[in-house]
């Protein structure tokens, strides 16, 4: 296969096409309309509208496209065992390394996954988008600046707390959660509907926000000054004298390598592939890949005893294929608080009434994410001799729980047991369970932001790599704090700040 025509020189090269890379591209495009922007992603383009969330598609079409996101190595793709799919690689993702039966679930992050497609994990994500709270916030960013960036991020992602219509089942669950947990919070904070990235639709599931929503008009091609190259991997960033000058790209179907020169480069390839690319490029600050931060994930499900069905019969029947989001009628937020609550809880109400031949019942799915104790020893190691399925340095993850982490996990389990005692009974086999490390998909810290170039961070407060004028990083890996909250909104907010810096740089150079 011949490679498509590509520009040999651009103003901004963005590596990665998820919500963060999309935010950088759109904000720079709006601030500097003359800028030529190229976005490269190693995976295929799944839909005509770049980055469309696959949950907006019918189940059969969704499944076919998820399979195209699952990488090159069949040993790392989801298998047919639904229990393992639930705990390890979901549909649309693939494991970093093949799973081994003997590997401990909490050592080395055996459930670490990636998605290989235009839009990245952003076409598969759960769209949960609350703001960081208390110690989750980046302490060296001025509060008003971070709040402003979070507001822009909420607009880019179309965040709302009105995703679902009120139901009797939802009201019961919200009332129960409030009675159990509102007393744990400072004044003004309480259990509430979850902020979600979506557009509500009456009588139907919301339209979920993928990177297409973040890109806006660029998702359809823009005005000719923006382009997305699918199936195109960035092999290395080129640099001279503290300045990125471009990159070596390879069109995977044809195998052709070529160079693109750029005035600025933003690498937003996910929290594992971003440090991998920097390492492959010879950019190896001490903190690169270190301080890897996952969120211990505790999961359970409850059948609500004598509870009202959620009342979604108006949606009509569904071809249920096991994706519980097709049955979702509400999602509620049990927020993090420091001190007091070291977990962030999300509670989904699920109604079986749209499934033909199944009696209407109300279920509650609970997921608690814990704020992990950050350690430099939790890290991604990159091989100098072995390659992964894409020919990039093979990754080995070193990761373990601390005693403080285990105490937080015990509190998460206790929270879910309290909820079950009030609402009904755990479904058999769905009692609170700590899922394998990596199952959160919320990996952070590997290219972390810092207040000073002291060896404990990779980039400054605008996501610019220390020692470079024009090389930026983006994604969950930039977040330097211990968090329990879903990180996407925070990462997009930090990308908004990066885009401001890139735009100012390009404007100074008379782009």
Token pair for 128: 């949960």
Measured between alpha carbons, how far is 183 from 191 in angstroms, rounded to an integer? 10
Task: Give counts: helices (H), strands (E), the chain.
Answer: 9, 21
Element (H, E) at 38: strand 37-40
Choosing from 94, 124, 344, 442, the catalytic residue is 442
User: What is the residue whose two structure tokens read 């990636």?
Assistant: 114
Measured between alpha carbons, how far is 28 from 466 in angstroms, rounded to an integer? 21
Q: Is 183 helix (H, G, I), strand (E, B) or coil?
A: helix
Q: Which of 357, 360, 332 is nearest to 346 (CA)?
A: 332
In angstroms, the first-to-last Cα distance of the chain is 34
Strands 37-40 and 226-229: parallel
Measured between alpha carbons, how far is 186 from 175 in angstroms, rounded to an integer? 18
Token pair for 452: 């000073």
Contact 17, 26 (CB under 8 A): no
Token pair for 386: 């072995």
Q: Is 245 helix (H, G, I), strand (E, B) or coil?
A: strand
Measured between alpha carbons, how far is 157 from 137 in angstroms, rounded to an integer? 19
Measured between alpha carbons, how far is 312 from 327 in angstroms, rounded to an integer? 9
Distances in Å between the Cα of 176 and the Cα atoms of 120, 312, 368, 409, 423 are 36, 21, 17, 22, 8
Which residues on neighbouring strands pair with residue 472, listed in sequence order? 266, 464
Token pair for 376: 């430099």
DSSP-assigned states of every residue in 50-62: TT--GGGS-HHHH
User: What is the residue whose two structure tokens read 């001799």?
Assistant: 385
Measured between alpha carbons, how far is 449 from 494 in angstroms, rounded to an integer? 10
Distances in Å between the Cα of 443 and the Cα atoms of 76, 226, 293, 373 are 18, 29, 6, 13
Element (H, E) at 155: helix 143-157
Whether 442 is a known active-site residue: answer: yes
Measured between alpha carbons, how far is 328 from 306 in angstroms, rounded to an integer? 19
Count how many Cα atoms sit within 13 Å of the Cα of residue 68 in the half-sphere of its side chain: 18
Measured between alpha carbons, how far is 146 from 186 in angstroms, rounded to an integer? 21
Active-site annotation, residues: 442
């Amino acid at each position: 296969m011949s490679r498509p025509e590509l520009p040999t020189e651009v103003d901004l090269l963005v590596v990665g096409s998820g919500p963060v890379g999309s935010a950088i591209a759109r904000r720079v495009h709006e601030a500097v309309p003359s800028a030529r922007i190229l976005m490269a992603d190693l995976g295929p383009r799944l839909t005509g509208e770049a980055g469309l969330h696959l949950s907006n598609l019918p189940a059969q079409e969704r499944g076919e496209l998820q399979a195209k996101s699952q990488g090159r190595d069949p040993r790392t793709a989801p298998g047919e065992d639904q229990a393992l799919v639930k705990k390890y690689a979901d549909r649309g993702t693939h494991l970093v390394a093949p799973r081994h039966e003997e590997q401990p679930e909490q050592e080395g992050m055996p459930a670490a996954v990636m998605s290989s497609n235009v839009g990245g994990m952003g076409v598969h994500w759960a769209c949960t988008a609350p703001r960081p709270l208390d110690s989750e916030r980046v302490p060296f960013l001025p509060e008003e600046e971070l709040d402003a960036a979070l507001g822009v991020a909420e607009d880019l992602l179309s965040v709302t707390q009105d995703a679902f219509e009120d139901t009797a089942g939802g009201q019961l669950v919200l009332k129960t959660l409030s009675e159990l947990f509102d007393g744990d919070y400072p004044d003004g904070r309480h259990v509430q509907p979850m902020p979600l990235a979506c557009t509500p639709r009456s009588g139907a599931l919301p339209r979920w926000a993928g990177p297409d929503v973040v890109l806006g008009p660029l998702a359809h091609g823009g005005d000719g000054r923006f382009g997305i190259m699918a199936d195109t991997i960035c092999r290395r960033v080129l640099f001279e004298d503290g300045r990125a000058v471009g990159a070596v790209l390879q069109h995977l179907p044809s195998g052709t390598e070529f160079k693109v020169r750029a005035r600025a480069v933003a690498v937003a390839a996910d929290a594992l592939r971003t440090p991998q690319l920097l390492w492959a490029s010879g950019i190896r600050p001490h903190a690169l890949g270190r301080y890897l931060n996952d969120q211990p994930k505790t999961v359970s499900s409850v059948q609500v005893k004598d509870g009202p069905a959620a009342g979604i019969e108006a949606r009509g029947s569904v071809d249920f294929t096991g994706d519980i989001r097709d049955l979702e009628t509400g999602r509620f937020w049990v927020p993090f608080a420091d001190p007091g609550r070291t977990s962030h809880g999300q509670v989904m109400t699920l109604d079986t009434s749209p499934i033909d031949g199944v009696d209407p019942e109300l279920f509650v799915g609970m997921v608690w994410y814990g704020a992990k104790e950050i350690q430099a020893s939790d890290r991604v190691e990159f091989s100098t001799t072995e390659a992964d399925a894409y020919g990039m340095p093979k990754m080995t993850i070193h990761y373990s729980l601390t005693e403080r982490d285990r105490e937080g996990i015990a509190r998460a389990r206790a929270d879910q047991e309290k909820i079950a005692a009030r609402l009904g009974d755990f479904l058999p086999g769905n009692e609170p369970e700590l899922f394998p490390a990596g199952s959160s998909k919320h990996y952070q810290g590997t290219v972390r932001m810092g207040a000073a170039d002291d060896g404990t961070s990779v980039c400054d407060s605008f996501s610019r790599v220390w020692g470079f004028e024009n090389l930026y990083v983006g994604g969950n890996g930039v977040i330097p704090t211990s968090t329990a909250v879903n990180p996407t909104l925070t990462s997009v907010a930090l990308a908004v700040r990066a885009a401001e810096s890139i735009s100012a740089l390009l404007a100074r150079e008379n782009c």
